[in-house]
Homo-oligomer: A and B are copies of this chain.
Amino acid sequence: MLLNASPDLRQQIEANEFLHPRVGLRSTPIAAVVLTGGDVDAIAGLLVMRERQPFTVHAAPRVLDVLDANPIFEVLARDIVMRRAVALGVPFDVRQPDGTACGLSVELFAVPGKVPLYLERPGEAPAIAEDGNTVGACVSDGRHRMFFIPGCAAMTPRLGERLRGADLVFFDGTLWDDEEMIRAGLGPKTGLRMGHMSLSGPEGTLAAFADLDVRQKVLIHINNSNPVLLDDSPQSAEVRSMGWNVGYDGMRIEL
């Protein structure tokens, strides 16, 4: 069977069993989605899910409110796509729409961040706080712990203890240093002003993770000003020497 698709796409489809139906004619292997926020980059992917396929959306109430406020998400028909509200700090079992547990437990938890842009007061730098506007996720199958933290403004002792010894952490790799956007002429804001800690420096991510004994560390949410995106940059060599990988589309990790 040859698919009439671009060579790249055809190769991907043939090589990746995730793209074949497992049950019936049109199943997908996606039983549930956990949302960590209401920003476009966290929720727009829902619009490319296959229509009329049952799955569950787990999210904090304020994120479900965002979906409710946008009729376009009604494409996830409510009779087959369940929306379940979850509380921060309370682990829950990820469930299929029929209520069956998937074998994964997830906890959403607040990490340091800033208020959303639309809640900022003009002329005033927003405070960094753990107010639930920025969250991370801990996913566990009972044997391994994986963290997903795409935005984080600071490493606190509490967050460090939570991450210690984890099998895998995906972490905010937005900027290399706090002023790179300003220096490059790309914008007037520092990283911290945008709610992101930077990779370099004594308060940076590389230093903060140095003693946390995390087995696999992957940078995500990387801004296109960050030199770690260049394979041959000194910064890229430095992150690799500290045990980090730089995430990319199609990356697969086994625990």
Contacts and interface: CB of A to CB of B under 8 A. Distances in A.
Interface stretch (A87-95, A97-105, A154-162, A228-236): A228-236
Interface stretch (A3-11, A29-37, A129-137, A141-149): A3-11
A119 interface: no
Interface stretch (A40-48, A78-86, A120-128): A40-48
Contact of A26 (B70, B186, B246): B186
Contact of A44 (B9, B26, B47): B47
A71 B39 CA distance: 11
Given A25-B186, A44-B44, A75-B40, A5 B248 contact: yes
B75 A228 contact: no
* Copies of the chain in the assembly: 2
A69 interface: yes
A210 interface: no
Interface string A217-255: 000000010001111100010000000001011110000
Contacts of A25: 184-186
Nearest to A52: B187
A233 to B, nearest CB: 9
A43 B47 CA distance: 10
Contact of A4 (B8, B47, B230): B230
Contacts of A6: 248-251
Given A47-B44, A186-B26, A249-B9, A230 B72 contact: no
A230 B3 contact: yes
A2 interface: yes
Contacts of A47: 40, 44, 47
Contacts of A251: 6
A82 to B, nearest CB: 20
A1 interface: yes
A186 B50 CA distance: 13
A44 B48 contact: yes
Interface of A: 1-6, 8-9, 12, 25-26, 40, 43-44, 47-48, 66, 69-72, 75, 184-186, 224, 228-232, 236, 246, 248-251
Given A4-B230, A4-B248, A44-B48, 4 more contacts: A3-B231, A4-B229, A4-B236, A8-B8
